[in-house]
Structure 1
Amino acid sequence: MATSPSSSHDPSEADFAASGRRVFAIEAQALAAVAARLDGEFSAACRLMLGARGRVVCTGMGKSGHVARKIAATLASTGTPAFYVHPGEAGHGDLGMITDADVVLALSYSGESDEVAMLLPGLKRQGNKLISMTGRAGSTLARAADVHLDVSVPTEACPLHLAPTSSTTASLAMGDALAVALLEARGFTADDFARSHPAGALGRRLLLHIADIMHRGDEIPRVGADASVSEALVEMSRKRLGMTAIVDTDDTLLGLYTDGDLRRSLDDDQVDLRTTRIAQVMTRSPRTIGSGALAVEAAQLMETHKIGGLLVVDADNRVVGALNIHDLLRARVV
């Protein structure tokens, strides 16, 4: 029957915290050592990736493979087309995914991974430029590469010096350094990032427009200026946006009536809901927004002016849509 390893004592909270701090300290020293070695090889790697006619193909085995996947994802999301190829699968057909226009970034801390080494003759034969990321400058992979990035670390954070810890952190940081350097060289912007992340929070904030979420056509609550307050309330109840536009025969905006206006009307003894015309109690020149504006702009308007909805108008002040705070919440803009 298998037993768990015995320990000489029961660790305290302070023991756990001390172990954690030791790891942070060791890995911080490792990152500082790698950063101090950034030189012309790093610049050369950036130039190869920036000038690639195809994509950056990241590969690696084991923990290096996990890091390579993350680097590929980071590159792709920051303007450098990239993907990951498993070296074991590449030797069984996936090598065909790599074209002669691609630059290959291969990771192996030892520089002697058999699965990665098997790819080298095929890549050389095809004419691919190769960037290696290893911890040994004299390794097979480092010597085969056009550019070698040295990610060697003084020691692993693992006290047994077995589990990849400091070395994988250094490789991840090197990948981030490449991605950011390329991002800056390309002039990659927040808008570009949003286009790569349409489902993310930033993507929604930078890409979603009023036209994408507003109510249109018969869904827009509107009445004429001659309607009574009670008729306006019926329209508000039917359309369920907490407001109604008051328009002329061409749908030109004349005013707005909201749930807040209704409360004020009920407190006014001079207002008879059945006989008072909506034009007498509506808000003239209400806040509006254009359909081409970003949805986040509507959220900012609502927050600034403490209002729950907006009418959408065109250049001639005709009502073309409407939305309220619930539409923004459903779109996850706020």
Structure 2
Amino acid sequence: MRDGHVVTGVDNVNPYYSVQLKRDRLNVLDWINGGSGRFVFHEQDICDYQALTQIFRDCRPDCVVNLAAQAGVRYSITDPFAYQKANLEGFLNVLECCRHVSAPRLVYASSSSVYGGNKVLPFSERQSVDHPVSLYAATKKANELMAHSYSHLYNLQTIGLRFFTVYGPWYRPDMALYLFSDALTQGHPIKLFNYGDMQRDFTYIDDVVEGVVRCITGSSFDRYEIFNIGNSKSERLLDVIDILSSAFGIRPLLECLPMQDGDVHATWASIDRLHAKTGYETTTTIQIGIPRFVEWYKSYVLPK
């Protein structure tokens, strides 16, 4: 929007997590828009093919960015059909709409979860991802295959982005740093799975957005692309908790538990391919990003 583009947003604002948080995000976008007409929002479900088709016909997008999905590894064990509907049926609807309005490019969210139990670190796009350990990961791998078929059949350029543990202001309340912050500020123990022996590639939201924008605007892509977007560093969960608790000024209580079904021990992104294509690099370490998240949490969550 700040570059003068018109952005059309589509979201069903479902109650998987706080609807109020989603409404407040939209309010921020309205404030950025400032009455310019550069942001148009449709409260609509991508699983409603007819409604989505009409939106595509009305806006005739130059590029489509699909970040819509039923997220969450653990919830996919509880409600698998929600993943079938949103991540498979919904994604197919997006592909079909791109096809029928001749959208030149689709950038879409895959996930680091597709790497499953891969032991070779860092994760590279060249590695096999044929053995997912959760249904969520399986649907994301399916998205990559579906995109490939549409690239081949209909000349739609597709760029899949495997996001690695995104965090920062305004992010989901079911994610680790948010849950840890809730526990810290409420005096509850932080639950550490695999007895704390976990590593994650934590990627700050601004770095993720930079990667997405480069994939929207870049010109050196093949017809079908897959890229990792991560911080290119695997952090010990205990180190992350140390930084988080220091930012709050609260001594943490820890509850060590066994590994959960569908979870993995470590993630770590190689971003060499995206760097080679776009010059992409991350700039936000956890020492910078976590205190920024805590500042937002204190201003948005704690007053409530």
- TM-score interval w.r.t. the shorter chain? under 0.3
Normalised to the residue count of structure 2, the TM-score between the two structures is: 0.21
Q: Whose radius of gyration is greater, 1 or 2? A: 1
Which of the pair has the greater relative contact order for Cα pairs under 8 Å at 6+ separation? 2
